[in-house]
Amino acid sequence: MTWYHYSSCEDIQLKNVKQIKNSAGKPCGFWLSYNDEWLNWCKDQEFYTFNRDSYYIYEYCLDTLNMCKISSISDLHTFTDKYSIGKEFSMRIDWGKSSTRIRRFSRK
């Protein structure tokens, strides 16, 4: 499977990143998109990366065997029940707990 990373950086250096226990919302790490939906959204919203004259698109091949796939609302509820901390409006995902699986990938 081919995934894409969009960046304003010409050279990407990959490294392991430890999840911060109380990070606000999104997990730390390297973000990938399976298709061009993220690119289209960024262009439509004039998101900062795509306001520049140039940006770079990197392709990666991933072994999705160890990836957590959320493809339905039921999957999302199951994931949230398993990895959430806090209650109601203060609920968030414990990304450190959810990141126990190794994700391997290589640049295409």
Convert the pLDDT of each residue in 80-105 to its tens digit: 888 888 887 778 888 877 776 545 44
Model confidence pLDDT, tens digit, residues 18-61: 766 655 677 777 778 878 777 788 888 877 666 566 778 888 88
Quote the DSSP letter at residue 4: E
- DSSP, residue by residue, 56-107: EEEEEEE-GGGS----SHHHHHHHHHHHEES-GGG-EE-HHHHT-S---EEE
CB atoms within 10 A of CB 84: 14
CA distances from 17 to 42, 100, 102 (A): 25, 12, 12
Give the C-alpha separation, 91 to 80, whole Å.
9
Domain regions of the chain by residue span: 2-107
Give SS3 for 41: helix
